[in-house]
Structure formats: C-alpha cells, structure tokens
Amino acid sequence: MSKADNMPLNLIITGVGGQGNVLASQIIGKAVVKKGFRVTIGETFGLSQRGGAVMSHVRISKNKNCGPLVPPNMANIVIGLEPLETLRVLAEYGNRDALFLVNSRPIYPLNVIAGEVEYPDADWIKDTLLKSVKKLYWMDGTAKAIELGGPIMLNMIMLGALCTIKNFPITVDDLKGAIKNIFPDSKLKANYMAINVGSGIISVESKS
C-alpha cells in the first residue's frame, strides 16, 4: 500500500496559469477520496491568473487531516508543467528523497519575451534537478499534448504518468473514473487518450 497509509503523501503540481494545475489537483482529489483516503488541497497563485505562477498542494493521508500547504522541503512528488516553475518549487519544497515528474517545454514569461531577462538553459535546469532529487522523469509532455490536439491536454498526460509511479495510491482506471463527472461526454475520449499516452511515457521515453 501507499506511503499515504502511514504519513501524508505530499504532492505539488506547479506551472503557470492556463496549464490546468487547479483542475489536475481536483481530479487527483476526487480519485483518492474514492479510494478511501483523506485529501487536503491548497492553491497559491502568482500575480496574473493566466501566465502567472500557479502551485497546487495535494496532501493525501489514510488517517490524518492535513493542513492545506506542504511544509518547506517536505514534497514527496512534484509534477512540473513548466520547467522554471519546477525549479522554484525545488528550492522551497524539494529534498533528496523527492520524485520529480517534469514537462521540459518552457513557457516564456513576458519579461523574457521582452528581452529584459534570460530564461535559464533547459539542460542546466535538468542537471540541477538531477543533482538535487532522488528521481527525475524529464519529458516533452507538451509535444505529446500537441499530437492529441493541443497543449491543453498536458495536464491529463502528466496525471497519466503520475499514476504509473510505484506506490502512488491511484491507478489509471481510478483517474479515468474521476473525470467522468468533470468532462462532458464529448471530451471524455480525448482525455482518456491523454491519460493513456501519459501512462506510457515514463517506461518508453524518459526515465532519467
């Protein structure tokens, strides 16, 4: 059984506005509650709703009601929808035993687009994460999402990958069950496909 039987399993989903962090955390919450776990979800937002930093804290436990935010340096799993935002989470919540599942495709903030600051090199971000955490899964989830119709599918792809991680308390089928009452029937097939694609990424493409 999962670590969540004995202690909170601390999951953070980080990215920028418009990537679907909040929806992803709600889906995880629904799925784990159906499995008999307790879950607490907290959200933090940057200055702008779309394009600003968004961080979702999901704390899963079998017997304990947890506070809404993961304590500093206590994340067990981090899903990074955007690499630079993932690096920021590493500094505050990361630790040597953490597992990071990261989309490698950046979304450049306005000050980078305007030429005011430089975006860190992707290889440097990856190397920093590799040196700092127990396990890193680094993948171009955005490319997979575009193949399925658009970047909006990224969050479902990353959740599909998450459910294949050893000891995570929900399965791909649990995830699919959780979205039945969230998406209209017309969108279920596409989201099921995204989950399936994500569930195959780790073993096929991107173990580090």
Q: What is the pLDDT of residues 4-18, one digit of tens each?
A: 555 799 999 999 988
With beta carbons less than 8 A apart as the criterion, state whether 58 and 21 touch.
no
Tokens of 132: 């700092």
Specify the pLDDT at position 207: 39
Mean pLDDT of 75-97: 97
Rounded CA separation 182/26 (Å): 10
Q: Identify the CATH number of the domain in which residue 157 sits.
A: 3.40.920.10
The pLDDT tens digits of the residues spanning 30-50 come to 999 999 999 999 988 765 445
Specify the pLDDT at position 205: 45
Q: Under the phi-then-psi rule, with left for phi > 0, alpha for psi from -120 to 50, and beta for the rest, what region is 143? A: alpha
Specify the pLDDT at position 45: 73
HEC profile of the chain:
CCHHHCCCEEEEEEEECCCCHHHHHHHHHHHHHHCCCEEEEEEEECCCCCCCEEEEEEEEECCCCCCCCCCCCCCCEEEECCHHHHHHHHHHHCCCCCEEEEECCCCCCHHHHCCCCCCCCHHHHHHHHHHHCCEEEEECHHHHHHHCCCHHHHHHHHHHHHCCCCCCCCCHHHHHHHCCCCCCHHHHHHHHHHHHHHHHHHHHHHEC
Amino acid letter at 63?
N
The pLDDT tens digits of the residues spanning 194-206 come to 999 999 987 544 4
Rounded CA separation 11/58 (Å): 5
Specify the pLDDT at position 53: 85
Strand order, beta sheet including 135-139: 38-45, 53-61, 9-16, 77-80, 99-103, 135-139
Mean pLDDT of 80-109: 96
The pLDDT tens digits of the residues spanning 161-175 come to 999 998 899 999 999
Count of domains observed in the chain = 1
* pLDDT reading at 208 higher than 50: no
| Per-residue pLDDT band at 92 (split at 50, 70, 90) | very high
Mean pLDDT of 49-70: 86
The pLDDT tens digits of the residues spanning 99-141 come to 999 999 999 988 899 899 999 999 999 999 999 999 999 999 9
CA dihedral over 102, 103, 105, 109, signed as positive or negative? negative
* pLDDT reading at 184 higher than 70: yes
In terms of pLDDT, which residue wins out, 50 or 146?
146
Mean pLDDT of 184-199: 94
Mean pLDDT of 67-94: 96
Specify the pLDDT at position 1: 39
Task: Quote the domain boundaries for residue 9.
Answer: 3-206
Specify the pLDDT at position 3: 52
